[in-house]
Structure 1
Amino acid sequence: MGTVAPVLRRHPLVGLTLGVLLFVLALAVAGADLPARWLATGYVTAVVLRTSVGMVRDLVRGHYGLDVLAVVAMVSTLLVGEHLASLIIVLMLSGGEALEEYAAARARAELTDLLERAPQVAHRVVGTGTGTGTGTGVEDVAVDQVEPGDVLLVRPAEVVPVDGQLLAEEASFDESSLTGESLPVSHVRGDHVLSGSLNGSAAVAVRATARAADSQYQRILRLVAAADDAKAPTVRVADRFAVPFTAVALIIGGLAWSLSGDPTRFAEVMVLATPCPLLIAAPVAFLGGTSRAARSGIVVKGGATLEALARARSVAFDKTGTLSQGRPELARVEVVEGHDPDEVLRLAASAEQFSSHVLADGVMRAAHARGLSLSEGSEAQERATDGVTAVVDGRSVVVGKLRLVRETDPTAYPCPVRSGETSVAVAVDGRLVGHLVLVDPLRPNAAATVRVLRELGMQEVALLTGDNVATAWSLADEAGIGSVHAELLPEDKVRLVAGMSHRPVVMVGDGVNDAPVLAAADVGIAMGARGSTAASEAADVVITRDDIGKVVQAVDIGRQTYRVALTAIWIGVWLSLGLMVVAAFGHIPAVAGALTQELVDLAAILYALLALRPGREHPELLEPAPVPARADRYDRDVLESS
């Protein structure tokens, strides 16, 4: 009940109406019928005028809402002398708004859980030698003041405040809020540690690699905040019913009045036509669906996205880091005669330090694994999807697709690759020196994801990638995708998605180069666990766990939520229509009708909350369980051991 008081404070009309109703009842019991009638009439008239102002503004803007029925019900009950019924209608309308907000707050609880865990303070190591993790002391600073390169102390059971590099020999972190992995994850010195991870049982030192605003956890928080602020398509869904529902209610009320000759019959029908079920059911359902998605590691930016997911008929995937695992491994180095493979790899990795592409990460990891020392480089430029250029040790280095290298060396030739391999061309001082051949295998559950999406009614599944045709078709065949478009630029992906015939279209991607197409698609889904900030911010849905199977779950949640919202609305509509017909024959007095309508509201709300229920399970989408991490013990004197 902790959320009830704040909701009521934001809706003082509920308490005021309840007070007026009790006072009117007290006057009636005391025999003061006339003062009771005048008080009720004056109060309800004031509410009618207040409601009518908003209603007229909406009508002027061309928006026909359900306030018309509420105003007609209040006015008609006053005109026939049913002042108690009119007060109950006011209480029902104001209470319905408060009840909607209370139900929404309960449904939103899962969505806002991350916000409550956000670290506000970081423990920064100060003194000499902080670059290696040693220092003379620790100072507490606001998380926003942390800069890349700062060494931070993360105490036991604390949340890592910013993305960083582990300085301790080894450590264990709970990353469940980010990846969904319930078991502790072990890391060793030099590993990347995500902000939002929960430290284990010993303090560790971490060197910050990003500011708070650019860190993984803060990105998720911004997405959650955006989803929290986004409005569900309540008005759109409810207004589809507004005109016909109002027309039917007025017809039933008019016929009851005309055939009986008693205007009270019209008022009794209007009481049961009060549109609370329509106004409440949709937002509660959509917020419930958004909450359930957040609990599953899926941040949905508003109810309109859930509706689009429910109606989606096509899906397109990026390849690298989306359908593939996104951790490419170097298979071999093919060099032009006379060049040293290790030197070609070293120069390429030095240039790739300036690239955000996942292939660049694979190249750098391979260089580090061979013990090669990378140079800092300068004058670097990255061309989205094509590659990167840089000056390394005074030499001009180009790393990327063959078409980029051919701009400096038109004689550059392609590298023969096997099934599933990708080649990266390398040019030094304007001449091709070799190719780096990498392998990025399909995710274990990618094929099952594609198959289940087809079973859910996706009529078109496509692969859109900037990679070469042979690699794209090889991976697509493994995944069961028959439509492949390769060697694409970002603008090509946007054009192809816009041209897909079965709509709405869902696009799934993860890189910076995917941001335009994610924004252009009807529903953009970003693999945000390791993807880029640009992709996450451009997308409508962000999957915060590194699991392609979550795409199926997002579609499932959208469809179940939309189905629940519509069913809840229809429950309210049919119950109201049935009761209106009974009232038309004079069997439901106005006061009893007003109280009965509260039960209709309750039925619609309770059904709408079914959107919080877990959906269908798809065991075939589960990735193989990781090997359990062991519980590590650390030296407590962290600053000196790191």
Structure 2
Amino acid sequence: MQWWRTLLRQYPLVLATLAVAALGGVLTAAGAGQVAQWAVSGYALAIAAVQAVAMVRELRSGTWGIDILAVTAIVATVVVGQHWAALVIVLMLTGGVALEDYAAGRARRELSALLAAAPQTAHALRPDGSVQDVPVDDVRPGDQLVVKPGEVVPVDGDLLSAAAPLDESSLTGESMPVERVTGDSLLSGAVNGPAGIRMRATATADASQYQHIVALVREASESKAPFVRLADRVAVPFTAVALLIAGAAWAVSGDPSRFAEVLVVATPCPLLIATPVAFMAGMSRASKNGIIVKNGGALERLARVKTAAFDKTGTLTHGHPEVVAVAPRDGLPADELLRLAASVEQYSNHSLASSIVHAATARGLTLSPGRGVRESTGHGVSAQVDGHTVAVGKEAYVAGLVGGTSRIEPVELEPGQLAVHLAVDGVHAGAITLADAVRAESLHTVTRLRQLGVRHTVMLTGDGEATARHVADAVGVDEFRADCLPADKVAAVRALPDRPVMMVGDGVNDAPVLAVADVGVAMGAKGSSAASESADVVILVDDVDRAARAIAIGHRTVNVAMQAIGIGVGISLALMAAAAFGMIPAIVGAGLQELVDLTTILWALRASGPGRGEPADLAAATRRPTPRSALATA
């Protein structure tokens, strides 16, 4: 009986309407038709009075609603003796809320699934080897945890087990399991594979990726689209046309029933329900693609974007240097040069050091231990490796160790590149070139944006002009602005003439410009919470191409909402014309009205999927693919 109590609590007027209908049916069957008419008519007029009061309040607040059609239709059908038709209209009004809730529930299922999956407990591994369940909020960095098969990783951490296949679809939209090995970072919200694993927490629950995403999703699911105000704008002419047709039908035919019959089919529900359902479906689809749209207004603005602005570092480029060339001297193999450099750099905290070490390990090279490590901060580092004195660093640092810059082999660098030199036993051994590489998807993103109607693209960066020009040419943006401080980026976005403007960035320094853009898009939620909080849209992974996908989803959502309104209004106008000629009795019209509502709602739900010619969506947030291998052991 739980469902009955829930129905009574949430939709009491629906049950009351059904009860009145049952009572009227019993009275009519018992031969008390007149009493039944009075009971049904009185109830209908009472509901109309309640709706009228609410309508007056809305008018006083400056909002023009469309309930006037329903109220007028109820009164008109009661006056002409069509009390059953009046009751059907009342059922439409009272049941419309339940119908909208059901449709919106379907539309937001990916958002709801993400919220429902938020972990509440964690399995803490104690020093004696026992496992104790603790509230996830009690987990602290450094705690060792056990994640059982099929469970959600409760907090961000590092993997201690040998390997683990994880489903990260709820975070990234990627359907295939991702293989992680010892030492790899684990994101909270990922779903463990078929074997238990051990991990070490690196953040509390509040500071972890999943809780941050859940907060964004909750904000998105509770928002309402300013676009729904379009319904009010359509309502004014729609109401006027309906009253005009109804009045003309009465005047020409001389039959007041025609007035009621026309208004019965002038259903307002396509305007009331279709738009919010379409927008919730669009936001749900975005979530399924790893994109959190915080509110419906942002989704509408995405559909109208005319200028796209991008930060460079970490957005159009990867944001960290990568080894792009290894140039040894005097016959030294390239892999050996890289291995020696990485063997020294493994002891350095410099950002370039990790890139060199990563490049060496990615090639399968075995690093040697170093002795007597000495580092000159910001310049270079030296150590004894395999019996050799190896120095790695800037040209001037290495030159000082080999006896002068004349003995350093020059390296030709392209804009955005830098060289790290290497000396072995006091002899220049070669150089390693690094660069912040342009993302492979950046050019496709800019091309796709133009196809979606974006007329102007611009790159804003704090880098020098030569580097900025190199990246701008590589990705195909229309213009770039170099040497920009955060305040310069804000001024540049404010001055862009072709609006709305979408700004895509990823770092803390991007937070101000994301806030002033018409649509701020933060890329990579695990990066900067400041950028994510100031943005309207958050892309959960480092994939700039999803900015274009977000605009495509905005286009699709707005188009479907407009189509749903057009279909509902069009069918209603056709039915009104038929009713004006006496072809649709009031009771039949009331039934047809429900079919119109259902048609428009089903059409609005089409926003949850791609349209014709659009690329297929990424994995659904609720999909849990079975890992192809079970590599993890606790």
TM-score bracket for this pair, using the shorter chain length: 0.7 to 0.9
Aligned to 1:322: 315
Aligned twin of 1:178: 171
**Contact 2:345 2:354 (8 Å CA) reproduced:** no
Structure 2 distance, partners of 1:331, 1:4, is 67
- Structure 1 residue 69, shift from structure 2 partner: 1.5
RMSD of equivalent CA atoms: 3.4
Q: 1:362 to 1:508 in 2, by over 3 A?
A: farther
Return the match for 2:603 from 593, 607, 622: 607
Shift of 1:281: 1.2
Shift of 1:81: 2.1
Counterparts of 2:486 and 2:466, CA distance in 1: 19
Cα deviations across residues 142-199 of structure 1 (Å, max 9, x unaligned)? 1111111222222333221111122334443332322333333333333221112222
Gaps of 5+ in 2: 327-340, 362-366, 379-410, 421-431, 619-626
C-alpha distance after superposition, 1:34-90 (max 9, x if no partner): 211221122112212211221111111111111122211112222222211111110
| 1:519/1:538 contact within 8 Å kept | yes
- Deviation (angstroms), 1:243: 0.8
Shift of 1:293: 1.6
What's the offset of the Cα at 1:423?
9.6
8 Å CA contact retained: 2:610, 2:616: no
Structure 1 residue corresponding to 2:140, chosen from 143, 147, 150: 147
Residue 152 of structure 1 aligns with an amino acid whose one-letter code is L
Offset, 1:234: 5.6
| CA contact 1:464–1:484 (8 Å) conserved in 2 | yes
Q: 1:265 aligns with which of 215, 235, 258?
A: 258
- Quote the Cα distance in structure 1 between the aligned partners of 2:594 and 2:237: 22
Change (3 A) 1:4 1:459: farther
Flag the 1:474–1:4 CA change in 2: closer, same or farther, 3 A: farther
Aligned partner letter, 2:313: T
1:542-557 matched pairs, under 5 angstroms: 542-557=538-553
1:125 maps to which residue? 125
Instruction: Give CA-to-partner distance per residue, 1:268-305, whole Å, 9 cap, x none.
Output: 21111231121111122112212222222222222222
- More displaced stretch, 443-452 vs 535-544: 535-544
For the structure 1 residues 621 and 472, does the alpha-carbon distance in structure 2 shift closer, same or farther, using more than 3 Å as the test?
A: farther
1:147-166, aligned counterparts within 5 Å? 147-166=140-159
**Shift of residue 348, structure 1, vs aligned partner:** 8.6
1:136-285 alignment runs, 5 A limit? 136-233=129-226, 235-285=228-278
Partner SS state of residue 110, structure 2: coil
Cα drift, residue 225 of structure 1: 1.1
Matched, 1:105 2:114: no
**Equivalences for 1:448-487 in 2 at 5 Å?**
448-487=444-483
Q: Identify which range, 274-283 or 190-199, moves more after superposition.
A: 190-199
Write the distance in 2 (CA, Å) between the matches of 1:491 and 1:502. 20
Q: Counterparts of 1:315-464 in structure 2 under 5 Å? A: 315-329=308-322, 349=349, 418-421=414-417, 438-464=434-460
Aligned length: 559
Are 1:59 and 2:59 matched, yes or no? yes
CA shift digits 1:392-421 (9 cap, x unpaired): xxxxxxxxxxxxxxxxxxxxxxx9962333
In the alignment, the residues of structure 2 paired with residue 119 and residue 582 of structure 1 have an alpha-carbon distance, to the nearest angstrom, of 56
Which digits, 9 at most, give the CA deviation of each residue in 1:201-241, with x for residues without a partner?
44332221111111111111111111111113363121120
The one-character-per-residue Cα deviations of 1:301-337 (angstroms, maximum 9, x if unpaired) are 222222111111111111122111234336799xxxx
8 A Cα contact 1:348 1:363, kept in partner: no
What is the TM-score normalised by the length of structure 1? 0.79
Q: 1:302 aligns with which of 295, 310, 315?
A: 295
Letter in 2 for 1:50: V
Secondary structure of residue in 1 paired with 2:122? strand
**Hey, what does 2:559 align to over in structure 1?**
563
**Contact 1:506–1:524 under 8 Å retained in 2:** yes
Corresponding residue for residue 404 of structure 2: none
Residue from 513, 521, 524 that aligns with 1:525: 521
Query: Which residue of structure 2 aligns with residue 71 of structure 1?
Result: 71
8 A Cα contact 2:170 2:288, kept in partner:
no
Question: For the Cα contact (< 8 Å) 1:327–1:361, is it kept in 2?
Answer: no
Counterpart-to-counterpart distance in 2, 1:265 and 1:318: 63
Segment of structure 1 superposing worse, 359-368 or 452-461: 359-368
Q: Is the 8 A contact 1:73 1:274 kept in 2?
A: no
Question: How many Å apart are 1:619 and its aligned residue?
Answer: 6.9
Q: Please say if residues 308 and 522 of structure 1, whose CA atoms lie closer than 8 Å, have aligned partners that are also in contact.
A: yes
Aligned position for 1:95: 95
CA distance in structure 2 between the aligned counterparts of 1:200 and 1:459, rounded to whole angstroms: 45
Rounded Cα–Cα distance in structure 1 between residues aligned with 2:281 and 2:451: 25
Decide which of 528, 536, 539 is 1:540's aligned counterpart. 536
Partner Cα separation in structure 2 for residue 518 and residue 347 of structure 1: 37
Give the distance between the partners of 2:492 and 2:14, measured in 1 at CA.
53
Question: Measured at CA, do residues 260 and 183 of structure 1 come closer, stay the same or move farther in structure 2, by a change above 3 Å?
Answer: closer
Distance 1:633 1:251 in 2: 72
Corresponding residue SS for 1:213: coil
Find the counterpart in structure 2 of residue 50 from structure 1.
50
Q: Structure 2: which amino acid aligns with 1:309?
A: L
Q: Identify which of structures 1 and 2 has the higher relative contact order when contacts are C-alpha pairs closer than 8 Å and 6+ apart.
A: 2
Deviation at 1:366, TM superposition (A): 9.1
- Structure 2 CA distance, aligned partners of 1:620 and 1:282? 23
Counterparts in 2 of 1:608-623, with a 5 A limit? 608-615=604-611
Q: Which amino acid is 1:317 matched to?
A: F
Matching residue of 1:392: none
SS in structure 1 of the partner of residue 522 of structure 2: strand
SS in 1 for 2:21: helix
Residue 101 of structure 1, CA deviation: 1.0
Deviation at 1:371, TM superposition (A): 7.6
Contact 2:157–2:199 (Cα < 8 Å) also in 1? yes
> Whole-Å Cα distance in 2 between the matches of residues 602 and 213 of structure 1?
42
**Alignment correspondent of 1:404:** none
CA contact (8 A) 2:456 2:498 kept: yes
Residue in 1 aligned with 2:583?
587
Structure 1 SS opposite 2:276 = helix
Identity fraction in percent: 54
Q: Which amino acid aligns with 2:589?
A: G
Output one character per residue of 1:371-397: Cα deviation in whole Å (capped at 9) or x when no partner. 899x9xxxxxxxxxxx9xxxxxxxxxx
Residue 85 (1) aligns with residue 104 (2) = no
State the match for 1:394 in structure 2.
none
Shift in Å, 1:442: 1.3
> Within 2, Cα distance between the matches of 1:70 and 1:361?
68
- Which residue of structure 2 aligns with residue 515 of structure 1? 511
Separation in structure 2 between the aligned mates of residue 423 and residue 56 of structure 1, nearest angstrom: 73
CA deviations 1:523-557 (Å, max 9, x no partner) are 11221254311222222222223322222221111
Separation in structure 2 between the aligned mates of residue 581 and residue 446 of structure 1, nearest angstrom: 53
Q: Separation in 2 of the partners of 1:372 and 1:593?
A: 87
**Structure with bigger gyration radius:** 2
